[in-house]
Each structure stands twice: as C-alpha cells, then as structure tokens.
Amino acid sequence: MNVTLPSRPLILGSSSRYRRELLERLRMPFEVFAPDLDESTRPGEAPVQLAARLAMAKAQAVAKQFPRAIVIGSDQVADLNGQAIGKPGTHARAVEQLSAMSGQSVVFHTAVAVVCAESGFSAGDIAPVRVQFRSLSAVEIENYLNAEQPYDCAGSAKSEGLGIALLASIESDDPSALIGLPLIRTSQLLRQAGLDPLLVLKNGSSA
C-alpha cells in the first residue's frame, strides 16, 4: 500500500474518551482539543436537531482556532418519544433515565461534522440507532449502575459493556454510532475533506 502523510493535521474536537478510542480504530495521527461551548437545548429544538447543531458547533469552534486542520465534531442525544435524554451525571438521574426507558424504543441520534476553515469544507451527517430496552426491574437497574457507573453516557448505558444486557435489540447501519462516533460516516466525511483513512495511517506505516 502507498502510504502518505496527511497534508493537514486532524483534530478530534471532543472531551470524550469514547470518541477518542473509536477514532483510534482508523489508525490515523490526530490530536484532541475539547471545545468550550454551551450545549443547552434551544426552545422547541428536537433531539435530532440538537445533536446535529452541537456536532457542527464543536467542529466549527475548534476549526476557528486551528484553521489549517481538519476537525471532527460529534454529539449524541437519546430520543425518548421526542424528549431529549442526555448524560445523567449522577446515580439518581441515571435511575430516572433507565426507569423511563424500560420497555421503550429509544433512538440515539449520533451526529458527526467535519470542518476545515482554510479550505472551506463543512459537512455533517447523522447515524440514528434504534434501541429497544428490555422491561427492567429496579434491582436490575441498581445492579447495572453500581457495576458500570455510566454517568457520562447519554441514556445511562454502555452497549459495549454490561449495558448490552439491558437491551432487547439494536438497529443501526453504522455499528460504532451507539458508542459515540459513527465511523462509517466519519470516514466518508474525511474522504470528502481530502483525508482518506486508508491512505494515511498512523506513523506513516502500512502495518
């Protein structure tokens, strides 16, 4: 394989360790820079609109500081019957979220945006993931939360861990989207921005 070094630096505009670990799967050199912005929902804003807006806002905020770079921004919002479900932050809030989602179908909207200020490239996409939660008992919820403590995850569940036991089914065309970054769509956007993951590998190695 002919491997070239990237003509532009790649930056992940996120403080999420989950997104960093996912992007590492593409084996490209990148830096991480967390944007500082208000992530509050606007009046009348649907969950899918919130996810798309925040993903783009994160990418744009970092791109302003690093105009030469290709910047990835991402956001995930769980949608329970039109209600946005974000990160619980606390045990009590996580209990409330899982109790509300018990037996319900929840759509996780995982948005990704790629921006390069210098080239003028700006595009985004959304990977919806439909998750059917099992009917959960209070004991199951408590046991799960005490074991995994997923308080930094939208919807209070880590599907890549023990959280999979909370679920009846997952429907998605982008397998990593539920964890926090849809890598199929991310790769497509990076190619459009001029950075092909299969032509630019970490440390310039084809291994």
DSSP readout, 22-56? Answer: HHGGG----EE-------PPPTT--HHHHHHHHHH
**Under the phi-then-psi rule, with left for phi > 0, alpha for psi from -120 to 50, and beta for the rest, what region is 4?**
beta
66 within 8 A of 101, measured Cβ to Cβ: no
Residues of the chain with pLDDT below 50 are: 1-4, 204-207
Residue from 38, 75, 79, 125 carrying the catalytic annotation: 75
**Ranges of H-type helices in the chain:** 17-23, 47-65, 91-101, 138-148, 183-193
- State residue 74's pLDDT score: 97
- 75 flagged as catalytic: yes
b (16+ CB within 10 A) / e for 175-189:
ebbbbbbbbbbbbbb
- State residue 25's pLDDT score: 96
Structure tokens at 164: 């999979």
Structure tokens at 146: 């005490």
- State residue 6's pLDDT score: 57
Under DSSP, the state recorded for 153 is: S
- State residue 39's pLDDT score: 83
Domains present along the chain, CATH in parentheses: 10-204 (3.90.950.10)
